[in-house]
Structure 1
Amino acid sequence: MKPNGVAIRALRTAHACGLRELARRTGLSRPYLSRLERGKRGATPETVLLIANALNVPPEALTSEDQK
């Protein structure tokens, strides 16, 4: 499972959620989330689930199997 940073950012902004708020909701750091959105970091399935739960979306909405 690979996180799709573009999808994460799009869903986060669509939910009017800033990085600071997403960090608060997930317990993850803002720098980590920023790098994740830019494709500079990977994520565990547990991390993807944390973000999905915080944004109220299914985890599949945040992943892309065809990303490199």
Structure 2
Amino acid sequence: MRPHPGAIRFRREALKVSLAKLSALTGISESHLSRVEHGKAGLGDENIRRLAAALDATTVDITHEEKP
């Protein structure tokens, strides 16, 4: 799975969740989350699943994967 930077940031901002809060919820550092949101870093499948759960989304919602 490849994270979709725009979708992740849009979802996070829509929920009014800071990078600090998202970091606390997922265990992914704020700096890494910021790089992901800017398309400069990726995430492994497990971190994508944790990020999706924290954003109350599916992995399809925040990745470049197609809906089944």
> 2:20 corresponds to which letter in structure 1?
R
User: What are the ranges of 5 or more consecutive residues in structure 2 without an aligned counterpart?
Assistant: none
CA deviations 1:19-43 (Å, max 9, x no partner) are: 0000010011000000000000011
Tell me how many residue pairs correspond in the alignment.
66
User: Which runs of at least 4 in structure 1 moved beyond 3 Å after TM superposition?
Assistant: none
**1:54 is matched with which residue?**
54
2:4 is equivalent to residue 4 of structure 1? yes
Shift of residue 3 of structure 1? 0.2
1:34-45 correspondence to structure 2 within 5 Å:
34-45=34-45
Taking structure 1 as the reference length, what is the TM-score of the superposition? 0.91
* Superposition TM-score, scaled by structure 2 size: 0.91
CA RMSD of aligned residues (A): 1.3
